[in-house]
Amino acid sequence: MESTHRLEKQILPIAISVSLVNWTLRSMFGPFDVGVLILTVVFTCVIFAAYNFAQKHERIKVLLFFGFSFLYLIACQVAVSARYMDWVVFLVAVYGFASTVYYFTIIRYRVAIVFLTGLIPFLTHSARTAKGITVHFLIYLLLFFLLYFERTRKKRAEAQGCNISINKWYCISMSVFLAVIFVISLVVPKPSVIPRLAYVNAVIEQVVQPLGGGAAQQNLFQSINSNLYNPLSLKKQSQLDSMTAPLSDRILFEVAAEEPLYLRIQSWDKYENNVWKVGNKELQEYKPVSGFYNDGIKYNVFVNLVKKAKEEGIVLPLPADASEIWNYNSTPQARKKATIINVNNFSTRLIPVPIGVIDVYSEYENSENIYMNKSGSCNIGKDDTPKNWQSYDVEYMTQRIPKSSFEHKLIEVLDRTTAESLLDMNTYKKNNGEPLDISYDNLNVLYWAAEDLKNVYENYTELPQNISDRIYNLAQRITEGKESPYEKALAIEQYFHNSGYVYDLDPPRLPRGAEAVDYFLFESKKGFCIHYASAMVILARACGLPARYSEGYVADEFDSGTGRFIVRDKDAHAFPEVYIPGYGWMVFEPTVSVREQDAISQFFSKVKSVLTSFRETVVNFVEIMPPWVRIMFIPFFLFSLMFWIWFLRKMYVHSWKKRMLKLESDKAVDRILLKIIKLLNVVNLNRNLHETPLQYGQRIYKESGIDILGFVEVFNKSKYAKIKPSVEDVKLGISLYGDTVIYVKGRLKWFNLLKYFWFV
């Protein structure tokens, strides 16, 4: 009984231990649970009572400690045997924190060690989430200061040899101090870079895997990451308002490929109540991967058919403005291969594959056992059981089609009506009424392409009823004047990059009852990939485009040592796929690439976008010109280049003059004279070390005829007599600088003139 009575005096250490456990579990498992809190309090009190009992028996306290620890270990082993891996983590956390806090607050009072113990949940929290200061952190902070105050009070009492009572002024002052700490923690801006504990997942899995096996490992991997955006988790849906971006640097895969890749894990067709979910279950039905070969090669077959029909003189139902596409050279969609290697050798239900898959095989797995579904997910087997795999090879059709190719220009003009007509075999009849000769295999490819086009519009254009009118209005405004689905999708993608949206791993909390996409588009304008991808899919559907939300990884970090791309936890990515009629699914990238964009950054981003678009237009225009016209453009290009250089220099000089007039007159005179001296150095009229400014001015007048003596006198009066120059004196210096430029230009040869062009 005495052991339990002592708990009344140990409330503060118990509270600190409970707060540390709950903070850790919250970071690992997700939302706060009252039941877990109650269990934590009970188990912590039991551990403290057991240690109090051991402390009472001085001679055998070590034996009692080991005995209690052994019983506790048996309880953990029972949980492991029952595959309750969540309980294992819970029991270990309670035991570890309770034992540490008890020892350093009851046996050896070390407040600093207690504070350092708080770094464990802090680093776990920082590694696994992107959230800033949380309530759990604030509670721990307040309890720690209470512990520190109590320790200080007791030390003072021991030093004075008496008991110091706790009066109301002590309580008031302590409460005010804690309140100030609490408020400061909430309102002070947090650092934009959050500390990260890399490989925290790997550490947990390495500890648990030997205990519970592969299935237990995967269950733990799923439960721990329930509040993280994790494409590999066993989830049937993806919720927008409760996801946190992963920050771990742990390497998941290595990819041997010729190009950076989007690796798709899974995608969803239905959006409802801020959740992406499965709408049509037929899209999730798995079939052998060989059945998707035709879907991968269909665009090449489609292009060849269109070109062959053109050669045979068949009039094709293309838009009126599509006549120029025939002037571009053809670059067929290339077939490529990638090898995905499972670095950590963990088990997953789905395996990542590039967009445009036509075959998947592995030397470690029977290729007939690899399946895919119409949503683009690839699985080893048909069931949902996680499986261990080492590596596999993927053959796919690259999505990188040159923009100046016939294939890309055709994509830019295709719409649903045009694609349906071009996939109708009745379109391909010669002038004499005979059908165009098409092989059986190609007919089969085109037939299923037509069926796919119809199914896509049935499954990937639906929007929930609670989508606001302003989303529809925004979609129409963005795509106004755009004709083809590709142009509309590209306009939506660029909208996010040019409209002040910010990449933020810790976006504002979604208000209760708010629609997530609507709030992101019009209110917060802050988020990470899941928000951008969802918003683009909704906007695309709002203007009639089939689109789907996909999750996976981006393989773009190249390791020159291994010659492979590295995929880490933090490379998890959500991206939109828009269906281009006749072509198929195409990935777009609306997610902005920087955390913060100020007005200047946005301006230069827009300038870069305009210049890139202009360059592509010029290149495409030049490519379709006859050779003799290109030759005529050479002098025009040189003249334009010289004009822009001259114009930019004029703007620079004008800006410099305005700066000098706005500057304090004494500083302006000093800088103008220095600039004149530097300019004269170009023609070897350097100022000697022994010369005063006046002597230098006299020599310049004798050797060049430039009269800078009057301006030198203004400089001397300003520098040594502290007589402030007038605005007219500054204007005199600017005029004198212009005369110096004319003189220097006349003395320079052509080579040196080009060398010092900007300076003079």
Q: What are 303-312's pLDDT values in tens digits?
A: 998 898 888 8
CA distances from 671 to 649, 656, 659, 686 (A): 19, 11, 11, 17
Burial category of 747 from C-beta neighbours within 10 Å (exposed 0-12, middle 13-18, buried 19 and up):
middle
Over residues 268-279, the mean pLDDT reads 90
What is the value of pTM for the model shown? 0.57
* Vertex 104: Cα angle to 101 and 107 (nearest 5): 115
* pLDDT exceeds 50 at position 442: yes
Over residues 538-546, the mean pLDDT reads 95
Residue whose entry in the numeric block shows the structure tokens 């203004």 = 714
* pLDDT exceeds 90 at position 469: yes
In the chain, the amino acid numbered 150 is E
In the chain, the amino acid numbered 385 is T
CA distances from 420 to 305, 446, 448 (A): 14, 11, 12
CA distances from 190 to 72, 141, 515 (A): 40, 16, 27
- The token pair at 40 is 């934590």
Name the pLDDT band for 293 (thresholds 50, 70, 90).
Answer: confident
For helices 34-56 and 61-81, angle between their N-to-C axes, nearest 10 degrees: 150
How far is residue 379's CA from residue 373's CA, in Å, rounded to a whole number?
Answer: 9
Name the pLDDT band for 198 (thresholds 50, 70, 90).
Answer: very low
* pLDDT exceeds 70 at position 557: yes
Which one has a higher pLDDT value, 631 or 298? 298
pLDDT of res. 209 = 42
pLDDT of res. 366 = 59
In the chain, the amino acid numbered 535 is A
Which one has a higher pLDDT value, 136 or 671? 671
Closest CA to 247 of 547, 505, 510: 505
Which one has a higher pLDDT value, 242 or 436? 436
pLDDT of res. 283 = 87
CA distances from 472 to 379, 457, 479, 523, 538 (A): 36, 18, 11, 16, 9
pLDDT of res. 747 = 73
* Secondary structure in 3-state letters for 117-158: HCHHHHHHHHHHCCCCCCHHHHHHHHHHHHHHHHHHHHHHHH
Name the pLDDT band for 476 (thresholds 50, 70, 90).
Answer: very high
* pLDDT exceeds 80 at position 40: yes
Name the pLDDT band for 191 (thresholds 50, 70, 90).
Answer: very low
Are the CB atoms for 353 and 396 separated by under 8 Å?
A: yes
Closest CA to 460 of 553, 540, 535, 552: 540
* pLDDT exceeds 50 at position 753: no
Over residues 29-45, the mean pLDDT reads 79
* pLDDT exceeds 60 at position 224: no
How far is residue 49's CA from residue 623's CA, in Å, rounded to a whole number?
Answer: 84
Say yes or no: domain 251-282+463-593 is CATH 1.10.390: no
Closest CA to 114 of 17, 37, 193: 17
CA–chain centroid gap for 90, Å, is: 32
In the chain, the amino acid numbered 523 is E
Burial category of 376 from C-beta neighbours within 10 Å (exposed 0-12, middle 13-18, buried 19 and up):
buried
Closest CA to 609 of 480, 483, 522, 491: 491
Are the CB atoms for 30 and 226 separated by under 8 Å?
A: yes
| Strand spans (E) along 588-728 | none
How far is residue 457's CA from residue 547's CA, in Å, rounded to a whole number?
Answer: 9
Burial category of 284 from C-beta neighbours within 10 Å (exposed 0-12, middle 13-18, buried 19 and up):
middle
pLDDT of res. 196 = 41
CA distances from 27 to 42, 137, 226, 694 (A): 21, 11, 10, 74
pLDDT of res. 161 = 60
* pLDDT exceeds 60 at position 398: yes
What is the overall mean pLDDT for the chain? Answer: 79
- For the chain, the domains span 7-160, 251-282+463-593, 286-460, 597-624, 663-759
pLDDT of res. 76 = 76
What residues contact residue 503 under an 8 Å CB cut-off, 6+ apart? Answer: 526, 527, 528, 591, 592, 593, 594, 595
H helix runs in 498-587, sequence order:
516-519, 529-542
pLDDT of res. 547 = 95
Over residues 534-549, the mean pLDDT reads 95
pLDDT of res. 416 = 92
What residues contact residue 676 under an 8 Å CB cut-off, 6+ apart? Answer: 708, 711, 733, 736, 737, 740
- The token pair at 89 is 């983590």
pLDDT of res. 345 = 76
Considering the chain, what percentage of its residues have pLDDT values greater than 90? Answer: 18
pLDDT of res. 645 = 76
* pLDDT exceeds 90 at position 475: yes
- The token pair at 248 is 């771990």
How far is residue 653's CA from residue 734's CA, in Å, rounded to a whole number?
Answer: 10
* pLDDT exceeds 70 at position 84: no
Secondary structure (3-state) at 113: helix
* pLDDT exceeds 60 at position 603: no
* pLDDT exceeds 90 at position 536: yes
What residues contact residue 642 under an 8 Å CB cut-off, 6+ apart? Answer: none
How far is residue 597's CA from residue 582's CA, in Å, rounded to a whole number?
Answer: 37
CA distances from 694 to 666, 716, 741, 743 (A): 17, 8, 21, 20
Name the pLDDT band for 738 (thresholds 50, 70, 90).
Answer: confident
Over residues 622-636, the mean pLDDT reads 62
370: left (phi over 0), alpha (psi -120 to 50) or beta: beta
* pLDDT exceeds 80 at position 158: no
559: β partners: 564
Least reliable range by pLDDT among 173-182, 335-344, 431-440: 173-182
pLDDT of res. 463 = 92
Least reliable range by pLDDT among 63-72, 275-284, 383-392, 397-406: 383-392
pLDDT of res. 255 = 93
Q: Parallel, antiparallel, or unpaired for β 347-348 and 387-388?
A: antiparallel
Over residues 5-24, the mean pLDDT reads 83
Q: Is the dihedral angle over the CA atoms 280, 285, 291, 292 positive or is it negative?
A: positive
* pLDDT exceeds 60 at position 220: no
- Other C-beta atoms closer than 10 Å to the C-beta of 636 total 9
pLDDT per position as a tens digit, 403-417: 889 999 999 999 999
Which one has a higher pLDDT value, 84 or 584? 584
13: β partners: none
Name the pLDDT band for 705 (thresholds 50, 70, 90).
Answer: confident
pLDDT of res. 192 = 41
Name the pLDDT band for 132 (thresholds 50, 70, 90).
Answer: low
pLDDT of res. 755 = 46
* pLDDT exceeds 60 at position 212: no
* Vertex 704: Cα angle to 701 and 708 (nearest 5): 40
Least reliable range by pLDDT among 34-48, 318-332, 508-522, 594-608: 594-608
Over residues 547-560, the mean pLDDT reads 91
pLDDT of res. 194 = 38
* pLDDT exceeds 80 at position 176: no
pLDDT of res. 620 = 61
The half-sphere exposure of 101 on its side-chain side, counting CA atoms within 13 A, is: 29
pLDDT of res. 181 = 61
255: β partners: 340, 565
pLDDT of res. 262 = 93
- The token pair at 400 is 């990188």
Over residues 478-488, the mean pLDDT reads 93
Residue whose entry in the numeric block shows the structure tokens 């999708």 = 489
pLDDT of res. 639 = 67
* pLDDT exceeds 90 at position 164: no
**Listed ranges 109-113, 183-187, 578-582, 712-716; the one with the highest mean pLDDT:** 578-582
